[in-house]
Amino acid sequence: MGFVYALSAMGIVLIYRTAGVVNFAQGSLVMLGAYVATSCIETLKLPMIGAIIAAVIIMAGVGAVFQRVAYYPLRYAGIIPVVISTIGVSVFLNNGVYVIWGTYPKFLPPIAGSGTITIFGTSIPLQNIAIALMAVALLFFQAYFFNKTWLGKKMQAVAQHQDTAALMGIKVSRMITFTFMYSTALAAIAGIFAGPIFFVSPGIAQILSKAFAASVVGGFGSVPGAVVGGIFVGLVETFGAYFISSAYRDAWAFGLLILFLLFRPQGIFGEPISEKV
């Protein structure tokens, strides 16, 4: 699950760096992405790869609408109104899912089948291996995108300083819109990865808390930190559940979050956030 947390945390960090706002709707967007993929398979009869592509495209469109409705009208009103707006979007999506899909969990087929592979005497589901491989490939793509493409460099410029980016001829509002689209696409992928593990239900939205913990652990505002933090939180959860008790699986992640807030609030990568807070 560490890679799922990493993808969700990256979405939070990207919007924070570009728009200066913590998106509290990210968990609900992860949930919505899983439901959209499920509907693409059940209703449209698309194969798994087709459902993934369709869900990513649809969720990118949702991201554009999200930015236009929840962020753009309040962009000059300060941080608090925008944060409250994202919470409102989360409530709207959570209730919308109940209305459209109901309360019963839905099944999302595993990406790599239901088999297992034994490594050092431990059986690991092929689904988990597929998630890890696809997540690593996506992370490498992200590194290439942000460092080697013009669009990625423009997004980084806007994240560094919006006014300077505007003086350089970059369309800041367009880049912010694209960032929202990119973040919701990441949310869709995270939901598709999480769906076969947890079943597709409104409970998937709780990933927000783990993604937030990953962001803080890695260093809020740092994209590499979000990746490292997500993997770290996932490992702590797994080892805590394996060696002590799975009943306290969630407690390990939040315990780690509390420790970092007490002793290293800037996170592993040490990104200062005092000015924006």
**Domain membership flag for residue 243:** no
How far apart CA 32 and CA 194 sit, in angstroms, is: 12
pLDDT band, very low/low/confident/very high, at 276 (cuts 50, 70, 90): very low
Q: What is the pTM of this model?
A: 0.87
**Domain membership flag for residue 96:** yes
3-state secondary structure (DSSP) of residue 200: strand
The pLDDT assigned to 39 comes to: 94
How far apart CA 87 and CA 93 sit, in angstroms, is: 10
pLDDT digits (tens, 9 = 90+) for 36-54: 999 999 999 999 899 999 9
**Domain membership flag for residue 19:** yes
Q: Any idea which residue has 């919007």 for tokens?
A: 15
Is 143 in contact with 10 (CB distance < 8 Å)? no
**Domain membership flag for residue 34:** yes
Is 71 in contact with 85 (CB distance < 8 Å)? yes
> What is the DSSP track for 112-151?
T-S-EEEETTEEEEHHHHHHHHHHHHHHHHHHHHHHHSHH
**Domain membership flag for residue 266:** no
Residue 97 sits in which domain range? 2-111+120-202
The structural domain count of the chain equals 1
Sequence length of the chain is 277
The partner residues of 118 in beta bridges, in order of sequence, read: 123
**Domain membership flag for residue 70:** yes
pLDDT digits (tens, 9 = 90+) for 94-138: 999 999 998 888 988 877 666 777 776 677 777 778 778 887 888
**Domain membership flag for residue 42:** yes
How far apart CA 28 and CA 36 sit, in angstroms, is: 12
- Given a cut of 70, is residue 194 above it in pLDDT? yes
**Domain membership flag for residue 213:** no
